[in-house]
Structure 1
Amino acid sequence: MTPKIAILGAGPSGLAQLRAFEAARKAGLEQIPDIVCYEKQPDWGGMWNYTWRTGLDEHGEPVHGSMYRYLWSNGPKECLEFADYSFEEHFGRPIPSYPPRAVLLDYIMGRVEKSDVRKYIRFNTAVRWVEWSDETQKFTVTVMNHDRGALESDEFDYVVVATGHFSTPHVPHFDGLDRFPGRVLHAHDFRDAREFAGKRLLLVGSSYSAEDIGTQCIKYGAEQVTFSYRSAPMGHDWPEQFSEVPLLTHVDGKVAHFRDGSTREVDAIVLCTGYKHHYPFLPDELALRTNNRLYPRDIYKGIFFQRNPKLMYLGAQDQYFTFNMFDAQAWYARDFMLGRVDLPDFDTREQDIDHWRAREEKLSSSVEDIDFQAAYIRDLVDRTDYPEFHVERQGEVFKQWKQDKKRDIMGYRNNSYASTLTGTVAPPLPAPWMEIVDDSPESFLRHDFTAPEVTAEGRFTAPEVTSEGRFTAPEVTSEGRTLDRQHTPAARRPARPAASRTVSVKA
């Protein structure tokens, strides 16, 4: 009997699951399972879709997205590249290592648009409840179909939870915050850095969202940014507009007080305090309970819910690798649902979870974290027919990215790296990232991003700077990245068509 599968969410991880089944079909699978993918947004893309809305969407559902205007990738695209679909294939040419959000979304969509998977997705449909029956050995999934204005239920043999874990804010309490006279918001609701031009900002938190929102706000005119950390400062060589102080204790009017006794007068406060794993549609016996970590407890191979492996989670862990990790998980989950992979018994699965957790507990640096997640992905892909890709080499790019951020937090996006798929070294941005204020794909892609060749000595063969504004040839390291780029304004000439595709802005 053909299995019936529910996929909850059509973001990158849910799309990876659909793509995995499509790959099996193209490889000769005669009968695809009966698949339904529920997506509460009106389009696919998940977190990568931008919306101006905060709080509730047009249907009264909690807004999923945390994207904001002027957001650029904060990691090299070379670490996000699909094993079966390069950036060069999509755009028809090389592009810089750090593209803006809409360009990355276009790349994500490009792969699934080549597959006939949209037919499986029911948009504007929010999952209300998932229930397991020991008697029938099936799940009942109840959803709200907003297009019809009706609750609907159906039975499934398997459920794949691909809803992500960066949409439900963790909001701690700080005395006096309710009486603060300025703007207070969580990073989930941050939408436009220009709102804070000329203001003094306090960002509570010391992870990626604080780092990126802080730099964005200074880029678009904020007067000052103060980071308040709980355990340790980020430790970057920040420009003079930035400062780092211990944890906020309370607020008195516009004056913020910190654990070390220091104070700052601020105009706005952004809580960059993280997110919760939140699955309100799952009963307690099926819901994953974890903080954001590299290997959550209770999911075998980081996928299968230990107490009921027919319930699977994709992308539920902290992430360095993203798209390829989602793929690796989706291919493995697919093979289980197709009967190609048999899972061991409960005790053996528990031992495997304990093994990976013990390894995780010993990690003491970001370098070790990256190697750990690369090994986890390797463990998955070696068991399936997922296309071979150089996950360990991508890990080395991540390590270089970490060093580049330490060296120049405001300019690390000006670096270039080599694709682990094609070997092409990315061309530079048309100007230093801090000087580029237009993040639209039309503006970005109109530049002639032609990657220069690299000689045996490791240098670009690009010509020197000309009166038309070409870049000087940067030096290329053995790791395949560029150093010490000297920028001049790029020539304003039309780009070649992006692989005969029309880039659309989803905003």
Structure 2
Amino acid sequence: MASHFQTPFRLNVNKLKMSRVGVIGAGGAGLCAARHLLAAGLKPQVWEATCGLGGTWRHSTRTGTDQYGLPIFSSMYNNLRTNLPKEVMAFPDFPFPSEDDTSFVHHTTVSDYLTRYATHFNLFPHIKTDHHVQKVAPTPNSGSGNTDGLPRWAITVRDLKQHITTTDVYDAVVICNGHYSKPSIPSLPGVEEYQGRQMHSHDYREPKPFTGETVLVLGAGASGIDIAIELCSVAKQVYLSHNQKSNIASDLPKNLHQVKGATEATRDGFILTDGRRVQADAIIYCTGYEYSFSFLCESCGIRVRRGQVTPLYRHIHNALLPSMAFIGIPVQICPFPFFDTQVRYVTKVLTGEVSLPSPEDMEATTQQEFHRHMKEGHAPEDFHLMSSTQWEYMKELTDAAGEKPLPSVIKTLFTDVRKIRNNNLLTYKQAKYRFTGPETYEVVQ
């Protein structure tokens, strides 16, 4: 976790005072950032490379590259419904419309919800779509009238429609580009000899092309399970290949078979970790995604190694140059409430209402957290994985920022649904929930 970057700038992070803030990405995190920065009197400018807002929730039927030659961002497939009820997914200050008749909504409902959010808080004047951020670099603070000792951020953006590239300087930058767009694909020995089709879940859109086939789905995370179950409606059989400690306990379709993880490919199939061989017409890699910040210059000091973005204080602030913040780096979280909590904290930092430790202390704290993570027996690549620890983390942020904590019912319903989902994968989305108070909910019949 030690950084190889030494900042040439003299920082005085206890006197952060910002005005212009660049926000990269107009998905849930970027919209939330714009909403709270505006409310605090700051001037956000949001850039979005696609033609509309929504981020990962903006579905595209295309795969590969878009009309500008950029990689398709969204991983949404046609029939995807949320695996969390909308009641816990909503931003704390903007509930989903009450007329929705289900809790586990289609992805288009979430996309529409984000558009309503942007409209309600008048964010559109601050968003430039079809604008691709190409370069972010710290630049010495000169002539800006500010004396906080922090660098400013030179941000180079390409207007994809007009074919114009410009560079402007901002007091701070908030990075909200998500991490579900760059596929992580394992290297299986012998895969070059495999004659079947290969696809990452990022490019999966519908089951129809797999009709009558035998498909191996590699990985039993949320997307792997959802896709495997959907494939069973048309496929001859589906192998859900994973190395989890135990098999999934839920009832599954009769033509879905859980097998060990694939460790090697053959001409017509795969060899599993237990030595078993299976034949398959296709493999779908549901093996996750990689963090990617190709627009960050070396001088930003951010490194991505083995699933870790470092050095980030509280998984948010660049410990070396703390006027750079990242929203939504952790995984296995309750997304929109989590983004909202992080953004409220960052906003208080950028307005000077919340002080940060020195860069040296922030980096040391991050290293200590990583060493504790390793000492507890966790894998390095799971450093940003939170799951049940997200609630304590969010409380620490709200306490530090002097903000109101999330209602406890969000944690309660989130936790209860996860238990129900694990044991009822085929039926759990039929339930409908309703909050009855800040601490309680009910199942709607």
| TM, length-normalised to structure 2 | 0.85
CA distance in 2, matches of 1:227, 1:248: 10
Q: Identify the residue that residue 400 of structure 1 maps to in structure 2.
A: 416
The Cα shift of 1:34 comes to 3.2
The Cα shift of 1:229 comes to 1.5
Q: How does 1:74-473 map to 2 (within 5 A)?
A: 74-87=83-96, 91-93=97-99, 95-134=101-140, 136=142, 137-218=151-232, 220-237=233-250, 238-286=252-300, 287-292=302-307, 297-350=310-363, 352-353=365-366, 356-357=369-370, 362=376, 369-384=386-401, 386=403, 388-390=405-407, 392-419=408-435
Do the aligned partners of 2:322 and 2:359 also contact (CA within 8 Å) in 1? no
CA distance in 1, matches of 2:44, 2:86: 31
CA distance in 1, matches of 2:25, 2:386: 27
Identity value in percent? 25
CA change 1:386–1:50 in 2 (3 A) is farther
The Cα shift of 1:291 comes to 4.7
CA distance in 1, matches of 2:71, 2:254: 38
Q: Secondary structure at the match of 2:133?
A: strand
The Cα shift of 1:2 comes to 6.3
Amino acid at match of 2:398: V
CA root-mean-square deviation: 2.6
Deviations 1:342-387 (A, max 9, x none): 21213442454356556755498x9x95431011111112334655
CA change 1:344–1:369 in 2 (3 A) is closer
Choose the corresponding residue for 2:78, options 61, 69, 84: 69
Aligned residues: 413
CA distance in 1, matches of 2:82, 2:107: 6
- Do residues 7 (structure 1) and 23 (structure 2) align? yes
CA distance in 2, matches of 1:8, 1:369: 24
CA change 1:370–1:378 in 2 (3 A) is same
Of 253-262 and 148-157, more deviation after overlay is shown by 253-262
Amino acid at match of 2:185: V
CA change 1:202–1:2 in 2 (3 A) is closer
CA change 1:39–1:280 in 2 (3 A) is same
Do the aligned partners of 2:331 and 2:386 also contact (CA within 8 Å) in 1? no
CA distance in 1, matches of 2:115, 2:319: 32
Do the aligned partners of 1:11 and 1:44 also contact (CA within 8 Å) in 2? yes
Q: Secondary structure at the match of 1:159?
A: strand
Of 253-262 and 3-12, more deviation after overlay is shown by 253-262
CA distance in 1, matches of 2:181, 2:18: 34
Do the aligned partners of 1:370 and 1:395 also contact (CA within 8 Å) in 2? no
Q: Secondary structure at the match of 2:434?
A: coil
CA distance in 2, matches of 1:208, 1:186: 14
Q: Identify the residue that residue 8 of structure 2 maps to in structure 1.
A: none
Of 91-100 and 190-199, more deviation after overlay is shown by 91-100
CA distance in 2, matches of 1:331, 1:155: 23
Amino acid at match of 1:418: R
Amino acid at match of 2:32: A
CA distance in 1, matches of 2:197, 2:437: 45
Q: Identify the residue that residue 449 of structure 1 maps to in structure 2.
A: none
CA distance in 2, matches of 1:418, 1:336: 35
The Cα shift of 1:94 comes to 5.5
CA distance in 2, matches of 1:253, 1:354: 45
CA distance in 2, matches of 1:360, 1:313: 21
Amino acid at match of 2:414: F
Q: Secondary structure at the match of 1:185?
A: strand
CA change 1:209–1:269 in 2 (3 A) is same
CA distance in 2, matches of 1:115, 1:246: 48
Do the aligned partners of 2:21 and 2:170 also contact (CA within 8 Å) in 1? yes
Q: How does 1:33-52 map to 2 (within 5 A)?
A: 33-52=42-61
CA change 1:371–1:172 in 2 (3 A) is closer
Q: How does 1:473-488 map to 2 (within 5 A)?
A: 480-481=442-443
The Cα shift of 1:283 comes to 2.3
CA distance in 2, matches of 1:64, 1:349: 32
Where relative contact order (Cα < 8 A, 6+ residues apart) is larger, the structure is: 2
Do the aligned partners of 1:236 and 1:409 also contact (CA within 8 Å) in 2? no
Q: Which runs of 5+ in 2 are unaligned?
A: 1-16, 143-150
Do the aligned partners of 2:320 and 2:363 also contact (CA within 8 Å) in 1? no
The Cα shift of 1:288 comes to 4.0
Do the aligned partners of 1:371 and 1:395 also contact (CA within 8 Å) in 2? no
Do the aligned partners of 1:201 and 1:266 also contact (CA within 8 Å) in 2? yes
Do the aligned partners of 2:154 and 2:167 also contact (CA within 8 Å) in 1? yes
| TM, length-normalised to structure 1 | 0.75
The Cα shift of 1:231 comes to 4.8
CA change 1:37–1:94 in 2 (3 A) is closer
Q: Secondary structure at the match of 2:168?
A: strand
Question: Which of structure 1's runs of 4+ aligned residues deviate more than 4 A?
Answer: 290-293, 354-364, 385-388, 420-425
